[in-house]
Amino acid sequence: MSRSLNSLVSAQLGWNWRDEQDFALLADDNRLEYRFALASGTGAGRADAVWYVPGDALAQGVARRWTLTALPRSVFGGQITQSFAAIKALLLLNRAESGGLLVLGGDTETPWWGPFGAADQTLRLPPGAALLLSHAGIGWPVDAQTCNLRLKAEGGAVGYDLALIGIAA
């Protein structure tokens, strides 16, 4: 049986705003939505690999390095390794309710910096925050020199979920 992956990437921000000024009711009900589907395959607008880690945790000050060319994955009691050549979507959730920031990026050894401007740049997710990064085209490349994704807990412990969709190496 051949490998197949169909995926959907989406985010939405909606609002219902009301204000009364000079005896007039102002209203704005709207939303901004972003979504795209990736068909199975390896070109632009396609993906053939998925990897995720639900419910992982980091103690205060602890960092974890995920090597995008050798990600462990448990399947039906066995272990396989997922290797990416490109990342098309990354979803990161900081499950902490208070305290800890979840810092993404800034690895010191072969950092993956696809969506960042430079290898040492980071993003900080406060408790309860979510981050979706996507590149529906060719994706952000991954290779032996740019393969380490770093997560670190600052200011307290964090729990997190991480999911990646992309092209298998």
Predicted confidence (pLDDT) per residue in 19-45, tens digit: 988 888 999 999 999 999 999 999 999
DSSP states along 46-106: EE-EEEEEEEEEE-TT-EEEEETTSEEEEETTEEEEE-EEEEEEEEEEE--SSS-EEEEE-
For 114, other C-beta atoms within 10 Å of its C-beta total 19
pTM value is 0.92
Burial (CB count <10 Å: 0-12, 13-18, 19+), residue 91: middle
Predicted confidence (pLDDT) per residue in 135-167, tens digit: 999 999 999 999 999 999 999 999 999 999 999
Place of tokens 């219902």: 16
CATH class of 45-168: mainly beta
